[in-house]
Amino acid sequence: MTQFALSVQLASAGEKKSVTKSAPLSVSDEENLYNRFLAGDEKACVELFQRYNQRLYTYCVKMVGDVEQAEDLTQEAWGRLIEMRATGRPLQNPVGFLMRVVRNLCLDHLKARKRLLSIEGVHETALPSYILYEPSEMEELVVKGLQKLSFDYREVLVLNIYCGYSFEEIARMTGKSPESIWTRASRARAQLRKLVQSAREHKNDAASRRGVAGGRT
């Protein structure tokens, strides 16, 4: 039997802490790197790339559902950042800029794909091609359920769970308040839970019907 565990840190002191308060704004590492890049240090751009490329790529993979397309979109996003150097425009939040670019690219791609695909559900019901392991029934339902979520709901879960951003960081990147991100994440989880539950029930019903039909024959 699998043992489900989740680690949580429990402090002994009962001090109240406002968790929705965003971190104070300061010149972040990303900004420094970007400013260095603007000043002509291309290594700074490569450092940014090495830090954030996998996150951007993961985001694209989960939002678009296609590994190769995700790679192209990620490259496009880096191209846009590099083009910014020609304009010399400073960015307060270069990673947020990159996230907005990949978000728009993913949305454009999904719109274009929707126009091309006559049957909308074809891609959504299939498991992503990158999954090489044999997923359990639950894992399969969850991954498929995630693909069925709306873009906004899927996005907040992907950024949080797959890319490892906290709600505060997501809020900063998307220009929304942490509360609204938290609410969206909560709704996304609820919807995913419902999807998984209904899919489970549907599977169980189908299995029991097959059992009854098998008993009759």
Partner 1 sequence: MMNGRRISLVERYLNGRMTATEARDFQLRLESDPKLRQLLRDEQEIEQALRRDSESIPKLGSQRLEQFVKASAGKGPPGSGSSVSLKAAGTLQRGVKEILLQLITGRGFLVMAAVGGTVIVSAILMQKDDPAAVPLPAAADTVQTASVHDTSQPSPAVASEHFGLSETQAIEPAASGALSDKGRQISGPLLTPLPEKQVMERIQLSSLPAADTILAPPLKNVVSTTIARPNEHQVRKPKSNSPTDDSLDAMRQRMEQEGGRQQLLVEPNDSVRTKVFNKD
Residues 65-124 that bind partner 1 (CB under 8 A): 67, 71, 74-75, 78-79, 82, 85-86, 88
Q: Residue 20 in contact with residue 178, Cβ under 8 Å? A: yes
As given in the structure block, the two tokens for residue 76 are 């496009």
Binding segment toward partner 1, per CB under 8 A, in 102-110, 115-123, 160-168, 204-212: 160-168
Q: Smallest distance from the beta carbon of 163 to partner 1, in angstroms? A: 6
Residue whose CB is less far from partner 1, 173 or 192: 192
Nearer to partner 1, 139 or 205 (CB): 139
Q: Does 53 bind partner 1 (CB under 8 A)?
A: yes
DSSP output for 168-204:
HHHHHHHTS-HHHHHHHHHHHHHHHHHHHHHHHHHHH
Tokens matching residue 12: 């002994």
Region of 51-59, 102-110, 117-125, 203-211 interacting with partner 1 (CB under 8 A): 51-59
Residue 114 Cβ, how far from partner 1 at the closest point, in Å? 23
Indicate whether 126 belongs to the interface with partner 1 (CB under 8 A): no
Which residue, 52 or 153, is less far from partner 1 as judged by CB? 52
Nearest-approach distance from CB 121 to partner 1, in angstroms: 20
Distance CA 78, CA 81 (A): 5
With CB under 8 A as the contact rule, the residue among 68, 108, 124, 139 that binds partner 1 is: 139
Q: Give me the least distance between CB of 186 and partner 1, in Å please.
A: 5
| Residue 171, number of CB atoms within 10 A of its CB | 19
Question: Site for partner 1 (CB under 8 A): which residue of 136, 150, 198, 204?
Answer: 136
Distance CA 138, CA 133 (A): 14
Distance CA 210, CA 214 (A): 6
Interaction between residue 42 and partner 1 (CB under 8 A): yes
The one-letter amino acid at 2 = T
# binding residues, partner 1 (CB under 8 A):
80
What b/e string do you get for 96-126 counting C-beta neighbours within 10 Å, with b at 16 or more? bbbbbbbbebbeebeeeeeeeeeeeeebeee
